[in-house]
Copies of this chain bind each other. A is one copy, B any other.
Amino acid sequence: MAIQLARRMEGLKASDVREILKVTQSGEVISFAGGLPAPELFPVKDLAAATQKVLEQEGQKALQYSTTEGYLPLREILADRMEKRCGIRTTADEVLITTGSQQALDLTGKLLLDEGDTVLCESPTYVGAIAALNVFCPRWVEIPTDDEGMDVEALQRRLENCDRIKLIYVVPNFQNPTGITWSLERRRRFAEVVMRHSVAVVEDNPYGDLRFEGIPLPPIKSFDTKGQVVYLGTFSKILSPGMRIGWLTAARPLYDKYVILKQGGDLHTSTLSQMQVAAYLESFEIDQHLARMRAVYRERRDAMIRALEKEMPRCVSFSRPAGGLFLWVELPGHLDARELLRRSLELRVAFVPGGSFYPKGNKENTLRLNYSNMPVTRIEEGIRRLAQAVKEMLDAGALTARQEAGGAKLNRAQA
């Protein structure tokens, strides 16, 4: 007698990324697959000093239960920072600390989605959001997306013609997976259109502080006058992903519901971890740390772009992100990135096939490359091998095409 699971479990499976990462844990593989920050840049000593201070001065408090909303001094720092740097009008009362941004996505699904409700997203979109929200069995609709962001006219038509659209999920800065950043104009028009409808927006901004060039653009949340936009931030890409400290800010009626759901979900995020991060922010200059990260990541992005330009056949195109961790590659339409992955793993290079980033998995000639986790020489070597695998596939395809053409002739001769 097998135990009967909930219906939602039928469609859920382990993520491709995760399965690939398992393969690449051997040090020999050059992995462009994960979304891992460069560990050599983690401020280990500063965090150790901050931790020692917390445990010496407030050890009992740090190890005890705390409120679901989160550690107040940390929420105050975050509210202040969002206001000063992003123009988001918020206060600590509207900041909820989450167990990474991933938990904020899970809470959002719980908050908004009945089975069959519609979620609108960029095309492609973040695979972790697909995984978090699929638990609530939504219908996904991808809105066409270009180099400036989501197509607002297409979005408007959807909003006007479809029922049960409950959520729009967007990553306007250095998007995962494409690296695209929305233009200012697109952000403004998106906010205008959205505010004419009663739909919630989740603006996920894990990479905003990792801009290599150009001017920071205001988040969509800064245009939100009706309390529709939930803004997600995280320390995962700017300090430490292992500590699992993220946050959301939402206007009051929604905020209270998020708190109730988080309470049922994990009571609260680690008190100690929150106090460690707060102590780090109080004692050290995170902006100096960010400047160091940006310099290194920019160099790695440049190296990857140079290598792609040098090594890849002309028929392969790719994005040129102005920040963040990822770059997006488009192969000729007849090439399957999953097949490319099999070949490139033989050459000890890994990446994530792009199909995973489409909720309906329909575009298989794309792939995501991460450049933050690898020194320049390894990036150059990895791209060289990857290009070799692409060329082999192209050659094999040409060969097969010739053989098929030959075979077809033969068949005609026989007939």
Q: Which residues of A contact B (CB under 8 A)?
A: 1-9, 12-15, 18, 34-37, 39-40, 42, 44-45, 47-48, 51-52, 55-56, 59-66, 68, 99-100, 102-103, 106, 110-114, 117, 128, 131-132, 134-136, 166, 197-200, 226, 228, 236, 239-244, 253-254, 256-257, 259-261, 263-273
Contacts and interface: CB of A to CB of B under 8 A. Distances in A.
Contact of A61 (B4, B6, B39, B132): B39
Given A100-B266, A106-B266, A259-B14, A3 B272 contact: no
Nearest to A276: B272
A60 B39 CA distance: 5
Contacts of A45: 59
A59 B261 CA distance: 33
A290 B217 CA distance: 53
A242 B62 contact: yes
A179 B42 CA distance: 45
A251 to B, nearest CB: 10
A230 to B, nearest CB: 10
Given A65-B242, A110-B135, 10 more contacts: A3-B199, A3-B254, A4-B198, A63-B239, A63-B241, A99-B266, A103-B265, A106-B264, A242-B272, A273-B273
Contacts of A12: 257, 260-261, 264
A164 to B, nearest CB: 9
Given A128-B267, A264-B132, A242 B3 contact: no
A198 B135 contact: no
A66 B6 CA distance: 28
A362 B264 CA distance: 21
A270 B242 contact: yes
Given A3-B200, A59-B44, A64 B241 contact: yes
Q: Number of copies of this chain in the oligomer?
A: 2
B6 A243 contact: no
Of the candidates A56, A134, A269, the one having the most CB atoms from chain B within 10 angstroms of its own CB is: A269
A66 to B, nearest CB: 6
B68 A42 contact: no
B6 A110 contact: yes
A3 to B, nearest CB: 5
Contacts of A102: 264-267
Contacts of A62: 242
B8 A266 contact: no
21 contacts: A1-B197, A1-B198, A3-B254, A4-B112, A4-B166, A9-B257, A14-B260, A18-B68, A42-B64, A63-B239, A63-B240, A65-B241, A66-B242, A106-B265, A132-B265, A135-B261, A242-B272, A243-B273, A244-B267, A244-B270, A270-B270
With a 10 A CB-CB cut-off, give which of A112, A134, A263, A268 has the most chain B CB atoms.
A263
Contacts of A6: 110-114, 117, 136, 166
A271 B257 contact: no
Q: Closest 6 interchain pairs by CB?
A: A1-B198, A44-B59, A242-B271, A63-B240, A39-B60, A48-B55
A100 B36 CA distance: 25
Given A34-B65, A65-B241, A242-B65, A103 B272 contact: no
Contacts of A267: 100, 102, 128, 244
Given A240-B63, A257-B9, A2 B44 contact: no
Contacts of A106: 264-266
A64 B52 contact: no
Given A39-B60, A199-B3, A270-B273, A13 B241 contact: no
